[in-house]
C-alpha cells in the first residue's frame, strides 16, 4: 500500500460493484429519457467516467469547476464558478455527479444555481457521503457509500492535488496533512 496511507477504506472491486449498481438504478429511473451528466471537476472525473459507462440510456456529458470556498462563513459558503457548463440545460434532465459530499456547501450552491436555469429535472449522485461533516442540508438522490469522518483520497479524490490516480479509496496518514484543518473553510 502507498506509504502515505493509513489503510484502504473501499477497494477498487467494491467501488466497481457499487458503480454498476448505481448505473443500473439510474438507467431504470431515466428509461426512455436522455440524461445530461454534469461532472464537477476535478474530483468527480474518475467516478463519472466509470458511472456513465454503466448507463444504458442516451447520455451527454458536461463539466463545471467551482472554487473551494476558502475562508467563507460557516453557513452560506461562498462558492465561485471557475468553469461553467457549455450546454444550456433548460428543459433537460440533468444529473450532477460528485465524488464526495462533505459540508454540502459545494453541492448546495450548485443545485441552487442550476435550478435557476430551468432544467426539466435535476438530481444529484455522489460516490461518497460524509454526513457527520454536513454544514448545510443537501438532498442526494443516488449515494454510493456513507463514510466516517476521515480524510480520504484516491479514485479522483485528492490531497493537495495528489493521489487522485490511486485505484482504491484510502485513508491518508494524519502526518501527511500535518494536522492542518481538513478543509480551509
Ligand atoms: O461538501 P463540500 O464540503 O463542499 O466538499 C465537497 C467538495 O470538495 C471537493 O472538491 P475540491 O473543492 O477539493 O476540488 P476538487 O474536486 O478539484 O478536488 C470534492 O470534490 C467536492 O466537490
Ligand atoms: O475526505 C476528503 N478527501 C478529499 N477531498 C475532500 C473534500 N471534502 N472531504 C474530502
Ligand atoms: Mg478535492
Q: How confident is the model at residue 92 (pLDDT cuts 50, 70, 90)?
A: very high
Nearest CA to ligand 1 atom 16: 43
Say what the pTM is: 0.93
What ipTM is given for this predicted complex? 0.97
Query: pLDDT for 152-167, tens place per residue?
Result: 999 999 999 999 999 9
* Sheet hosting strand 93-101, strand order edge to edge: 81-83, 59-66, 35-41, 93-101, 121-129, 142-146
Query: pLDDT for 117-144, tens place per residue?
Result: 999 999 999 999 999 999 999 999 999 9
* CATH domain 12-148 topology: Rossmann fold (3.40.50)
Helix (H) or strand (E) holding 37: strand 35-41
Respond yes or no on whether the N-terminal peptide bond of residue 42 is cis (omega within 30° of 0).
yes
Confirm whether 84 is a catalytic residue.
no
- Of 99, 102, 129, 168, which is the active-site residue? 102
The total of other beta-carbon atoms located within 10 Å of residue 67's CB is 13
Amino acid at each position: 500500500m502507498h506509504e502515505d496511507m493509513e489503510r484502504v477504506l473501499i477497494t477498487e472491486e467494491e467501488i466497481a460493484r457499487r458503480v454498476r449498481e448505481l448505473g443500473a438504478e439510474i438507467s431504470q429511473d431515466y428509461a426512455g429519457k436522455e440524461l445530461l451528466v454534469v461532472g464537477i471537476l476535478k474530483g468527480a472525473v474518475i467516478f463519472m467516467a466509470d458511472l456513465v459507462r454503466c448507463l444504458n440510456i442516451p447520455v451527454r456529458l458536461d463539466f463545471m469547476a467551482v472554487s473551494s470556498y476558502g475562508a467563507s462563513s460557516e453557513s452560506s459558503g461562498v462558492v465561485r464558478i471557475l468553469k461553467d457548463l457549455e450546454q444550456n440545460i433548460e428543459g433537460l434532465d440533468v444529473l450532477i455527479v460528485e465524488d464526495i459530499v462533505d459540508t454540502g456547501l459545494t453541492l448546495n450552491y450548485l443545485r441552487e444555481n442550476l435550478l435557476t436555469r430551468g432544467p426539466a429535472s435535476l438530481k444529484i449522485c455522489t460516490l461518497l457521503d460524509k454526513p457527520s461533516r454536513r454544514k448545510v442540508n443537501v438532498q442526494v438522490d443516488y449515494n454510493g457509500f456513507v463514510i466516517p469522518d476521515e480524510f480520504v483520497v484516491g479514485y479522483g479524490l485528492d490531497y493537495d492535488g495528489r493521489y487522485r490516480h490511486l485505484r482504491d479509496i484510502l485513508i491518508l496518514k494524519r502526518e501527511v496533512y500535518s494536522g492542518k484543518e481538513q478543509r480551509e473553510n
